[in-house]
Structure 1
């Protein structure tokens, strides 16, 4: 969604509606951004995509580093 918005090829209002819906869905299933990252880490650990580089190190960084943007998200539907 962010890349589509940055491209300028799409109308902003519908993309922002999609972003809001995605945020509400994620907030419903994951109580905090940390829980989301933990689930993503578990998924990446168990079911990596062989055609892509692993994201384990990046996800671990976001879990541990207080400077990660995940620690500053407005986490409410």
Structure 2
């Protein structure tokens, strides 16, 4: 049975460090981690949760579609 705290756990596990050293999360990776903890979300549902629940990441996607890329940013001076 899925637990609510597993969503944040899955989000943290989905974080990776890109070539420029930023912490990023892709929607597809987040959905994979959610499935591992018994949350069966679509990419649209995952994007919606990130938009509403995570204020320290912003969308830095370079392509259209549901598989978006979110990067950790510093509101006091940069990405």
Q: Which has the larger share of helix?
A: 1
- Which structure's CA Rg is the greater one? 1
TM range (shorter): under 0.3
* TM-score using structure 2 length: 0.27
Q: Which has the larger share of strand?
A: 2
